[in-house]
Structure 1
Amino acid sequence: MKRWYAIQTYAGSELKVAELLEERVRQLGLERKVTAWKLNGSEVRFLAPIEEVITSKARRGRTGEYRVPYEYELKIEPNKRIQKGDIIAVKPAKYMSFDAKVKSIETLQRVIVEMSNRNEEEFLIPLEKRIRRDIRTGEKIPPSVPLTTDSDPNFRTPAVKTTVVQRDRVKRVQLERLDTNEIVTLLIPEKYLVRLKEGVTLKKGDLIEKEDKIESRASGLVKIKEYKDKRVVTVQYIEKRRLFPGYIFAHMEMGQDVLQLPEGIKCRFVGNPPLPLSEEDMKVVKRKAGLLEAPKAVGPKIEVAFEVGEVVEIIEGPFADFTGAIVELDKEREIATVTVKIFGRETRVDLPFESIQKI
Structure 2
Amino acid sequence: MSEKAKWYVVHTYSGHENKVKANIEKIVENRGMEDVIHEVLVPTEDKVEIKNGKKKIKQKKIFPGYVLVKMIMNDESWYVVRNTRGVTGFVGPGSKPIPLTDEEIKNMGIVEAMPEIDVVVGDTIKVTSGPFESFMGVVKDVNLEKHTLKVLISMFGRETPVELDFTQVQKL
TM-score bucket of the superposed structures, by smaller chain = 0.5 to 0.7
Q: With the length of structure 1 as denominator, give the TM-score of the two structures.
A: 0.28
CA distance in 2, matches of 1:24, 1:247: 18
Q: Paired residue for 1:204?
A: none
Contact 2:5-2:73 at 8 Å conserved across structures: yes
- The alignment's C-alpha RMSD in Å is 2.6
Contact 1:286-1:292 at 8 Å conserved across structures: no
Runs of at least 4 residues off by over 6 Å = 290-293
Deviations along 1:249-295, one digit per CA (max 9) or x if unpaired, are 121110101111131512022122111001211122415xx9879xx
Q: Which among 260, 265, 268 is matched to residue 85 of structure 2?
A: 265
CA spacing shift, 1:278–1:27, aligned 2, 3 Å: same
Structure 2: tracts of 5 or more residues without a match: 116-128, 130-172
Q: Percent identity?
A: 29
Residue 9 of structure 2 corresponds to residue 6 of structure 1: yes
3-state SS of paired residue (1:260)? helix
Q: How many residues align?
A: 108
Q: Paired residue for 1:279?
A: 102
Q: Which among 30, 43, 60 is matched to residue 49 of structure 1?
A: 43
CA distance in 1, matches of 2:13, 2:32: 26
3-state SS of paired residue (1:257)? helix
CA distance in 2, matches of 1:291, 1:243: 22
Alignment of 1:137-148 (within 5 A): none
Q: Which has the higher contact order (CA 8 A, sep 6+)?
A: 1
Q: Paired residue for 1:301?
A: none
Alignment of 1:1-359 (within 5 A): 1-35=4-38, 45-55=39-49, 57-58=50-51, 63-64=52-53, 218=54, 220=55, 237-261=56-80, 262-267=82-87, 268-271=89-92, 272-283=95-106, 284-286=108-110
More helix by percentage: 2
CA distance in 2, matches of 1:245, 1:292: 27
Higher Rg: 1
Contact 1:49-1:285 at 8 Å conserved across structures: no
CA distance in 2, matches of 1:292, 1:51: 21
